[in-house]
Amino acid sequence: MKKSLFIVCLLLSTLQYTRAQGCSDAGICSLPVTATSMPTKNQIEVAAVFGAGEADTRYISPYITYTRTFSERWSGAVKITASSASGSFGRRSAVGDAYLSSTYSPVTERVYKWSFTGGLKIPFHDANLSIDNRPLPMDYQSSLGTIDFLGGANLNYKMWDFNVAVQVPVINFNANSYVADFSGTDDFPTTNLFERKPDALLRATYTVKTSNKYFSFKPNLLFIYHLGTDTYEDSDGKRLSIAGSDGLTVNGNLISAYHYKTGVIELSLATPFAVRKVRPDGLTREWTVGIGIRKGF
C-alpha cells in the first residue's frame, strides 16, 4: 500500500513540473481493452479532457460512449469525440471521430484473465478545418482524417493489468493544407496532405481500492511507439519525411474513481516522462486532465 501511494504522489508531483508531450489521443490510449465491469447491460459515459499543447494551445475534448454487454464474453461500444482548440490562430471547434469496438473476454476460473478488443476509428471530416479561410495546422484539427484499425489484448492478474495495442491508419482522407512558410509562424510543422504512420502501445496498470470499495486509484505507465516517419507533400507534389516524428513516448497516468451503485465518477491526470522530437499530427500535450461519469442502466 505504501508503494502504491508513493507512485500516486510521484505522478501528481510530476504533473506540476513536466512540460512536454502527453498521451497520444489518436485513439490507442483510450481503446477499451477490458469488458465493462458494470452490473447492468447498458452503460453511458460522458466525459471531457482538458489539455495544453504546442505554442500555448489549449484544448477541451468532450466525448460520449455507449457500451452494451451482450453476454459474459462479448461487449460492444460506440464512442463519439469532439474538440475545441484555442491559441494564436483563434478558436476552432468541431466533431472529431466515431469509434466502433467490440471486446471478447473468455470465461475462465484461472487467476489470469484475458480479453481482446478490435475496432475502427472513422473520421467526421478530412482534417482541413480553417478559420477565415486560413489553413490550420493539425494541432487545431479535431480529427486526423483517417480510418484506423485498432486492436488490443489485455492480461489481468490480481491487481495488475497489462495490455498491448496497435493503431493502423487504413484509409487516408487527410486533406490538410497547412504550410508553415505561409503562416507567419514556425510553431507548427508543414502538414500539407499529411500521412501518419501506425502506433504500438504497451501499458501496465496497478489498481488500489479502499476497504469500503467506494474509491479506486489506478496509476499506470504507457509506452507508445510511433512506427515510422510521418510525411507531407510539398508545393512541387513531392512527398517528404518529417524528421523526428517516429520513436517512443512514455506517459504516466493516474485514474482516480468514486464508485456508486450503478455508476462511476472518474478523474484522470496524465503527463509525459519521455517524448518524440516532433509530433506533426497535433497530438502534443504538455498535460491532460480528464473528468467523466459512467452510468449503467
CB distance 140 to 99 below 8 Å: no
- Give the residue-averaged pLDDT of 72-87: 96
Query: Are 253 and 220 contacting, i.e. CB atoms less than 8 angstroms apart?
Result: yes
Provide the pLDDT confidence category of residue 8 given band limits of 50, 70 and 90: very low
Residues 280/267, Cβ–Cβ less than 8 Å: no
Per-residue confidence (pLDDT) for residue 5, from 0 to 100: 44
| 90 Rama sector, left if φ>0, alpha if ψ -120 to 50, beta otherwise | left
Buried b (16+ CB within 10 A) or exposed e, 231-268: bbbeeeeeeeebeebbbebebbbbbbbebeeebbebeb
Q: What sign does the CA torsion over 23, 28, 33, 35 have?
A: positive
pLDDT at 212 over 80: yes
Nearest CA to 231 out of 189, 187, 203, 183 is that of 189
pLDDT at residue 23, rounded to an integer = 56
Q: Tell me, yes or no, if the pTM score tops 0.85.
A: yes
Cell numbers linked to 223: 509506452
Q: By C-alpha distance, which of 285, 258, 194 is closest to 231?
A: 194
Task: Assign 29 a pLDDT band (cuts: 50, 70, 90).
Answer: confident
Length of the chain as a residue count? 297
Res. 226: pLDDT tops 70: yes
Mean pLDDT within 191-215: 96
% of the chain exceeding 70 in pLDDT = 89
Instruction: With a cut of 50, say whether residue 273 has pLDDT above it.
Output: yes
SS3 70: coil
Per DSSP, the three-state class of 103 is strand
d(Cα 262, Cα 149) in Å, to the nearest integer?
31
Q: Give the per-residue pLDDT at 30.
A: 75
Say yes or no to pLDDT of 20 above 50: no
What's residue 28's pLDDT?
Answer: 78
Question: Residue 293 and residue 265: Cα distance in Å, rounded?
Answer: 4
CA distances from residue 79 to 31, 38, 64, 98, 233 in whole angstroms, order as listed: 10, 17, 6, 6, 31
Best mean pLDDT range from 9-13, 36-40, 225-229: 225-229
Helix (H, G, I), strand (E, B) or coil at 212: coil
Question: Contact 186/180 with Cβ under 8 angstroms?
Answer: yes
